[in-house]
Structure 1
Amino acid sequence: MRLVFAGTPEAAVPSLRALIDSPRHEVLAVVTRPDAPAGRGRKLVRSPVGALADEHGIEVLTPAKAGAPEFLGRLRELAPDACPVVAYGALLPQRALDIPAHGWVNLHFSLLPAWRGAAPVQAAIRAGDEITGASTFDIVKELDAGPVYGVVTETIDPADTAGSLLQRLSRSGARLLESTMDGIGDGTLRAVPQPGDGITYAPKVTVEDARVSFTDPAAALDRHIRSVTPDPGAWAGFRGERVKLGPVVVTGENGLAPGELRVERKRVLAGTATQVVALGEVQAQGKKRMAATDWARGTRIEQGERLS
């Protein structure tokens, strides 16, 4: 099939690569978010999806809005059979959805109808789900509510962060998306409406959402930190500033008040509402990320000080 692929971040790259390499499909163009400033020099940088398209000499479209007349005009000229989508990052108006003959087919990183929305991987980890996955579905006006073509499941490991889980899902999801496009192309695959129950939502996670509360139980705190690692990154207050926190280990020990710190030779412990946790990596403002023990030695933590 003739395809126009829409996507932006690194998680969409395996899917685009699979479709470029597929002998059954031709990627006519790629739609991605406009180049954005990055790094200390704040130079404009192409998205990971756009960069891969450039490597293969594929046309890259970067509309500020997907409803822009010039973008819609170019899409009509390309006349794709379908538009596969992976984490594009912008809303698609109906006049764009109507252009490809087989619509826009989204790869979403959850088992729909669970965790519709912008942050399904983070939500699954935070909720303590044991199984998640990815779904391909036909995009409709309502958020992530279109009929589903196929799913793939993935076990959530106890140590998974949002980053590690998304990396695995991006690979298994790429295979799912390719097989979905194959089935649509040869007419053997039909989408099935989503169930009306079991619907949950996963809104975008903000920096404020990533703040750690040590008044939570240790298990919930552990899941919360892993769910926002690496982005936007868990953090807590210490001496009036923010410190970023990497994943922790639940020790099974007790004896510290919520947020209270205790420095040992090989561990830095913090209290929660239940068990004590051992801190992993810590990054103070303006500093590099380091082991909690190195941070504690440099900071000279006093007895009774707390993370808040």
Structure 2
Amino acid sequence: MLRVLFVGTPEVAVPSLHMLAADKDHFEVVAALTRPDAPTGRGRKLQPSPVKQAALELGIPVIESDPKEECFISELKATGAQAAAIVAYGKILKQPVLDALPMGWYNLHFSLLPQWRGAAPVQRAIWAGDTLTGATVFRLTAGMDCGPILAQSTVQIGAHETSGELLTRLADDGAHLLAASLEAMASGQIIPQEQPQGAYEVAQKITVEDARMRFDVPAFALDRQIRACTPHPGAWCMLHTAAGDEGETLKLHVLEETPVSVDELDAAGRQVVEEGLAPGQLRATKHHVFVGTATQPLELLTVKAQGRKQMRAADWARGARLESGAYCD
């Protein structure tokens, strides 16, 4: 039986923790290392990470110490862990920490390494228009996501899938891959393979400013941006309810949209599409809300206007008092 330290923070790491904790024939999860409680929500109250909550429910001891602290290695060794399983922990581990466990640290990364090393592999894959991605289990080294690979699995990216939806799928698939890889590693049935050398895209973190929607691009490119930024940090734009300075200006988040399929529209919708919309120009009918791009419009399906709850775009538009010159930028 392999004694494992589980290391992770967000919800996407929880399926792997549950998988390892449930497999008592092969693993003993001796402790969970996670980020300290952080302020969240409007009240900024301290909240435990999803991994901490799950570990406590499972009766697993929780460590919240910073790996940079001098006492961390002794605390780590006191757990009796032989190896560590990492999923989205969010901190860099230095070599003395990596050397502290006799069988090493193993990371579940949500891309087909060496492509999309870095903080936002799922988001960047969708934004780039990739149709295939997957999960990789590799041994952690000092370099960023460049250690030897134990195993990989692949999945198709859905044509309308958001990063949140894809991450949920990968988290479940990856949990099985991580457990199987650790079991094979512990029994000597797998030999990690070095990653191929070359220049590969790096998955830089997506900022709030990155998520500001651009309308001077083709519809397919804007669709990718929105899906990549959903749900975090959230695709947004500034809405001007009328032309010039006559209307209101507020922030608008787009949670769901689709490139226009004329065959599925009613007569009013087809007329809007056929007339054409300038990039960023808004037009609402009784059942549809459209926004222009550099090519065909997008239909907005779910939105959240500043100070309002999220709702169907058509319902929002009926109360938003949009004038003929309404636009987004």
Q: CA deviation at 1:261?
A: 0.8
Q: Answer yes or no: is the 8 Å Cα contact 1:218–1:250 preserved in 2.
A: yes
Which SS does the other structure have where 1:69 is aligned?
Answer: coil
2:278 alignment partner in structure 1: 257
Which SS does the other structure have where 1:247 is aligned?
Answer: strand
Structure 1 vs Structure 2 CA RMSD: 1.1
* Pairing 1:291–2:307 present: no
Q: CA deviation at 1:247?
A: 2.3
Q: Could you tell me the TM-score, scaled by structure 1's length?
A: 0.97
Q: Answer yes or no: is the 8 Å Cα contact 1:210–1:233 preserved in 2.
A: yes
Amino acid at match of 2:252: V
Give, in whole Å, the separation in 2 of the partners of 1:16 and 1:263: 46
Counting only pairs closer than 5 Å after superposition, residues 34-183 of structure 1 correspond to structure 2 as 34-63=36-65, 65-183=66-184
Moved over 3 A (4+): none
Give, in whole Å, the separation in 2 of the partners of 1:123 and 1:222: 13
Which SS does the other structure have where 1:209 is aligned?
Answer: coil
Q: Answer yes or no: is the 8 Å Cα contact 2:257–2:299 preserved in 1.
A: yes
Q: Answer yes or no: is the 8 Å Cα contact 1:61–1:71 preserved in 2.
A: no
Give, in whole Å, the separation in 2 of the partners of 1:194 and 1:284: 45
Q: CA deviation at 1:297?
A: 1.3
Amino acid at match of 2:285: E
Q: Which has the larger radius of gyration?
A: 2
Aligned residues: percent identity?
Answer: 47
Give, in whole Å, the separation in 1 of the partners of 2:130 and 2:198: 17
Aligned residues: 307
Give, in whole Å, the separation in 1 of the partners of 2:204 and 2:103: 28
2:244 alignment partner in structure 1: none
Which SS does the other structure have where 1:178 is aligned?
Answer: helix
Q: CA deviation at 1:198?
A: 5.5
2:34 alignment partner in structure 1: 32
Q: Answer yes or no: is the 8 Å Cα contact 2:126–2:228 preserved in 1.
A: yes
Q: Answer yes or no: is the 8 Å Cα contact 2:256–2:303 preserved in 1.
A: no
Amino acid at match of 2:218: P
Q: Answer yes or no: is the 8 Å Cα contact 1:10–1:49 preserved in 2.
A: yes
Amino acid at match of 2:312: A
* Pairing 1:304–2:315 present: no
**297, 302, 307: which is aligned to 1:281?**
302
Give, in whole Å, the separation in 1 of the partners of 2:139 and 2:258: 41
Gaps of 5+ in 2: 241-248, 262-272
Which SS does the other structure have where 2:12 is aligned?
Answer: helix
Gaps of 5+ in 1: none
2:222 alignment partner in structure 1: 221
Q: Which deviates more from structure 2 when the two are superposed, residues 231-240 or residues 124-133?
A: 231-240
Q: Answer yes or no: is the 8 Å Cα contact 2:153–2:177 preserved in 1.
A: yes
Q: Answer yes or no: is the 8 Å Cα contact 2:134–2:155 preserved in 1.
A: yes
Which SS does the other structure have where 1:171 is aligned?
Answer: helix
